Amino acid sequence: MSGMSAEPYWELTFDADGDADATERDALIRGAVSAGLTDLVVFAHGWNNDRPMATALYSRFYAPFPGLVARAPGVRMGYAGVIWPSMRFPGEAVPDFPSAAPEAPPAPPVLDAATREALVRILPCERAVMDRLAELAAEQSEDPVRLEEFVSLVRGLAPAPPHGLAAADAGEDDASYLLTGDARQVCESFAAALDRMGALPPAFLGGALKRLWGGALEVLRQMSYYTMKRRAGVVGEKGLGPALALLAESATGLRVHLAGHSFGARLVSFALRALPDDGTALGGVTLLQGAFSHYAFASRLPFDTGRGGALDGLHRRIRGPLVACHSRHDSALGTLYPLASMMSREDDGILGLDDGRWGAVGHNGIRAVDPSARITLDEALHGALPTEGCVSVDASSVVARGGPPSGAHSDICHEELARVILHAGRVLPAGP
């Protein structure tokens, strides 16, 4: 692809049901064979608005790889980017992408045209429903009936459970925190979380109902993220996993290194469900700020020992390690993600979430898997990265930039993280 920082490069496109663009998939398979590749990195984006933005992310993320791979004699590396239908709320800051810098929020805040169009296209949502949501959000009526109407319309956007896939993701992969309970209480909980993070816009700092409207807009954001989270699992299991199996049949001996950011980390993890227990060509899997349960790979849940996580034991299908990079500066996963998950079981309070039942793998690493190493990024880059099993790498030293509400969630374009992927796949030898 012209202008890509690392070549050869291919893209793999999947629809919301996991169906692959067969032309792209077959081109990758033929290209990997004809080029005599020894290794292939496959990266999956998280929330995102369109293909150009995803491709720009891949180009920036892959930029350090050619120089690093040059240190590994005999390695012929290829690169691939997964394109899947997800969305990012316009206006959220993404480090190193100036065009995505947030604009000053209007007063009062509204659902702008770009956000409405993305929701209609991606969720999907009927345009008439989105127009009504935008009208209610702009009005911010003092009438509680209008708030109830807004929340009710948002609840109507919840996706149906995917057929044939396990619904449970360590007990928190559902939208009941949005679909049940008192609308005012739900909105107040989100408003309080945003206020604590310094992310509640000034226009919502007036009376009680003004504050609740700030929480109501976060309910809509969370519904879109829930939809993307569920979709990522479907695309991984029904799309990427089978594509990798076909690739392994044709390109024997090729080592594949999977990486994913945010919901893309969930996507590549669920791809493991479609791979065989042995004979896999996966050299390593690296999760960057993964937006799914830190108990996903557990055989026994600490709060329900008769059950395991949604991906119980699947890390054993990798020839190398499963690496989860996490950062304490990721407020999207440190506050909003566990709050939403916790509310699905009607627990009280929002304090101490980062160490509790509802945490995300991208905020505090892999939990309840034994053995599972926990090391710093510096240690990972200087020889301490295990050659197999699960390992949580504290990447807070580099994944540190970003403002509210997401914090450093998207601060992933660093050479150090590229090196983690290559060390995990044993492309680069242990050590600096």
pLDDT digits (tens, 9 = 90+) for 237-288: 999 999 999 999 999 999 999 999 999 999 999 999 999 876 568 999 999 9
- At 106 the pLDDT is 43
Alpha-carbon gap, residue 210 to 74, rounded angstroms = 62
Where would I find the beta strands (DSSP E) of 126-204? none
- At 182 the pLDDT is 83
Rounded to 5 degrees, φ, ψ at 84 are -140, 155
- At 344 the pLDDT is 45
Range from 31-45, 225-239, 329-343, 363-377 carrying the lowest mean pLDDT: 329-343
Tens of pLDDT, residue by residue over 36-72, are 999 999 999 998 878 999 999 999 999 999 999 999 9
Q: What is the 3-state secondary structure (H, E, C) of 206-234?
A: CCHHHHHHHHHHHHHHHHHHHHHHHHHHH
Task: Please check the confidence at residue 107 and state whether its pLDDT lies above 80.
Answer: no
Per-residue pLDDT, averaged over 24-44, amounts to 97
Amino acid at 43: F
- At 404 the pLDDT is 75
What mean pLDDT, rounded, does the chain reach?
A: 85
Per-residue pLDDT, averaged over 185-192, amounts to 85
Tens of pLDDT, residue by residue over 194-213, are 777 777 777 676 667 788 99
> Cβ of 31: how many Cβ atoms within 10 Å?
17
Please count the CA atoms within 13 angstroms of the CA of 204 that sit on its side-chain side. Answer: 26
Confidence of residue 96 (pLDDT cuts 50, 70, 90): low
In 3D, which of 161, 413, 355 has the Cα closest to residue 421? 413
Which helix (H) or strand (E) element contains residue 127?
helix 127-139
- Choose the most confident range, by mean pLDDT, from 35-44, 182-191, 397-406: 35-44
- At 324 the pLDDT is 98
Range from 234-238, 276-280, 375-379 carrying the lowest mean pLDDT: 276-280
Task: State pTM to two decimals.
Answer: 0.87
Task: Please check the confidence at residue 99 and state whether its pLDDT lies above 60.
Answer: no
Alpha-carbon gap, residue 306 to 79, rounded angstroms = 41
> Cβ of 416: how many Cβ atoms within 10 Å?
17
Burial class (CB in 10 A: 0-12, 13-18, 19+), 132: middle
Pure H helices in 238-353: 241-250, 263-270, 331, 337-343
Residue with structure tokens 């699947």? 314
Please report, for residues 28, 229, 285, the alpha-carbon distance to residue 392 in angstroms, rounded to integers and kept in the order given: 31, 21, 12
Burial 145-183 (b: 16+ CB within 10 A, else e): ebbebbbebbbebbbeebeebeeebbbbbbbebbbeeeb
Alpha-carbon gap, residue 257 to 238, rounded angstroms = 19
Helix (H, G, I), strand (E, B) or coil at 83: strand
Range from 98-112, 128-142, 193-207, 411-425 carrying the lowest mean pLDDT: 98-112
Alpha-carbon gap, residue 402 to 410, rounded angstroms = 8
Tens of pLDDT, residue by residue over 127-171, are 999 999 999 999 989 899 999 999 999 988 887 765 544 444 434
Task: Please check the confidence at residue 301 and state whether its pLDDT lies above 80.
Answer: yes
Residue with structure tokens 């695309």? 235
